[in-house]
């Protein structure tokens, strides 16, 4: 009986999470999956309730769950808190606790909806890429770090093992997709980039059917705008992946369309890429597509049910054409869009 830990979080997080759970429950009824759900405090909501962004009850439950479905966290309300109390610190702690070293962010332009992209339709057409971002190393976690009145310092650090394990995830994904992978670094000026490139090349030897290329991160940012359809799987480190995946997330036309999966040593986490959007929270207009698609990734990667994951993807794409939400130029509410997904499911 798969156990799903729900971390609705802040802002529109509870609304889009509820939409995703509604879709999962509908599949559960027809397919007999035996899913169970447990809602837990996390992020700013947890700070308000317990004083901590990642309380012990949540930590214990996510370690015992089969998957975590996360809504969104943060907002101006908590920006002035000490760093250790901020929602974002809770998110980093969640990733570290679960050993989530590989973040998968697909960016796909839905056929027929190329006009939603900020790029010209002929450039946006056919975009279907997957960014695999290393999630627990690099400059966000490297030591030493610190700050004085006069300066601040952070350390970008990677071990060969850290690079090879996330590269293995990326190469396996490429083998199941179109067999192409580009590794992104800054090897021309950073020793960390040199190690990254050598480590990826070592893993590439174990996957001879995958075509491998290498790009510097600045050039890759340009290529993602000029010719995004040329890429299949993009592998990169924590900092560069953070930036490039946000850039790629704009390609389909809205952050509300981008799901993600974080995989690693313990329980996997699935969440939409978008933030908590406190300005529209409670208005019933949030786009739940990314959260619903994240639920589809949960079925694929956590429960090994890829056929059901694809069913959710097809239902969401049909709903996007039929009942777009406000961020996509339509008028469908969160509830109306979810109903459309259920009808097509």
Based on the fold, state whether residues 12 and 68 are members of the same structural domain.
Answer: yes
From 59-73, 163-177, 194-208, 249-263, the region with the lowest mean pLDDT:
249-263
225 contact partners, CB below 8 Å, separation of at least 6: 119, 247
149's CB contacts (< 8 A; 6+ apart) are none
- Band of the pLDDT at 91, cuts 50, 70, 90? very high
Q: Is 10 a catalytic residue?
A: no
Q: Is 218 a catalytic residue?
A: yes
b/e 317-333 (16+ beta carbons within 10 angstroms → b): bbbbeebbbbbbeeebb
Among 250, 283, 312, where does a domain finish?
250
Average pLDDT over residues 223-238: 97
> Of 204, 223, 250, which residue constitutes the final position of a domain?
250
* Active-site residue, from 77, 85, 140, 216: 140
Instruction: Examine the residue annotation and report whether 186 is marked as an active-site residue of this protein.
Output: yes
For residues 131 and 249, the answer to whether their CB atoms sit within 8 Å is no
**Could you tell me if 189 and 138 lie in one domain?**
yes
Q: Is residue 111, in this structure, part of any structural domain at all?
A: no
Per the structure, the complete domain to which residue 204 belongs is given by 128-250
| Catalytic residue chosen out of the listed positions 186, 232, 301, 327 | 186
Please answer whether residues 5 and 36 qualify as being in contact, where contact means their C-beta atoms are separated by less than 8 angstroms: no
pLDDT surpassing 90 at residue 253: no
Q: What is the pLDDT of residue 329?
A: 86
* Residue 296 within any structural domain of the chain: yes
266 and 236 within one domain: no
Question: What CATH number is attached to the domain comprising 298?
Answer: 3.40.718.10
Q: What's the average model confidence in pLDDT over 245-258?
A: 88
Q: Pseudo-torsion of CA 336, 324, 106, 63, nearest 10°?
A: -20
**Catalytic site includes residue 185:** no
Residues 234 and 282 in one domain: no
Same domain, 211 and 305: no
Report yes or no on 123 lying in a domain. Answer: no
pLDDT band at 255 (very low <50, low <70, confident <90, very high): confident
pLDDT at 327 > cutoff 90: no
**Looking at residue 183, which CATH number applies to its domain?**
3.40.50.2300
**Same domain, residue pair 232 and 265:** no
The overall average pLDDT reported for the chain is 95
Q: Among the listed ranges 3-17, 54-68, 297-311, 321-335, which one has the minimum average pLDDT value?
A: 321-335
- Both tokens of 183, joined, read 């590794």
80 given a catalytic annotation: no
Q: Spot the catalytic one: 28, 66, 128, 246.
A: 246
Residue 116 lies in a domain: no
For residue 256, the model assigns a pLDDT of 85
Residues 226 and 266 in one domain: no
Same domain, yes or no, for 233 and 274?
no
- Show which of 233, 250, 267 is a domain's final residue: 250
Q: Are 239 and 261 found together in one domain?
A: no
> Could you say which of 60, 176, 198, 218 is catalytic?
218
Q: Does 92 lie in the same domain as 162?
A: no
Q: Judge contact between 159 and 193, C-beta under 8 A.
A: no
For residue range 7-41, list pLDDT tens digits in order: 999 999 999 999 999 999 999 999 999 999 999 99
């Amino acid at each position: 009986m798969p156990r799903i830990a729900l971390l609705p979080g802040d802002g529109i997080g509870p609304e889009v999470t509820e939409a995703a759970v509604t879709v999962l429950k509908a599949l559960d009824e027809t397919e007999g999956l035996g899913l169970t759900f447990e809602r837990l405090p996390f992020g700013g909501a947890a700070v308000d309730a317990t004083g901590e962004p990642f309380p012990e009850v949540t930590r214990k439950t996510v370690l015992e769950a089969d998957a975590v479905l996360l809504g969104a966290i943060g907002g101006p309300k908590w920006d002035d808190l000490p760093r250790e109390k901020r929602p974002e610190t809770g998110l980093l702690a969640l990733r570290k606790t679960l050993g989530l070293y590989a973040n998968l962010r697909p960016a796909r332009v839905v056929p027929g909806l190329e006009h939603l992209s900020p790029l010209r339709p002929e450039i946006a057409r056919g975009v279907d890429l997957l960014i695999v971002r290393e999630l627990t190393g690099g400059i966000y976690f490297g030591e030493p770090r610190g700050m004085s009145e006069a300066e601040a310092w952070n350390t970008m650090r990677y071990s060969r093992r850290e690079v090879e394990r996330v590269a293995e995830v990326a190469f396996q994904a490429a083998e199941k997709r179109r067999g192409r992978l580009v590794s992104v670094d800054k090897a021309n000026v950073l020793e960390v980039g040199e190690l990254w490139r050598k480590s990826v090349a070592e893993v590439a030897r174990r996957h001879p059917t995958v075509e491998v290329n290498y790009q510097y991160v600045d050039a890759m940012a340009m290529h993602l705008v000029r010719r995004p359809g040329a890429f299949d799987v993009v592998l990169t480190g924590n900092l560069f992946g953070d930036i490039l995946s946000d850039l790629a997330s704009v390609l389909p036309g809205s952050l509300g369309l981008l799901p993600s999966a974080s995989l690693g040593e313990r329980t996997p986490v699935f969440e939409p890429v978008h933030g908590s959007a406190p300005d529209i929270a409670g208005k019933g207009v949030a786009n739940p597509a990314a959260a619903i698609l994240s639920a589809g990734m949960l079925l694929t990667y956590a429960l090994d049910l890829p056929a059901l994951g694809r069913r959710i993807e097809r239902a969401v794409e049909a709903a996007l054409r039929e009942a777009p939400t406000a961020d996509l130029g339509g008028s469908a509410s969160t509830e109306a869009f979810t109903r459309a997904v259920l009808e097509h499911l």
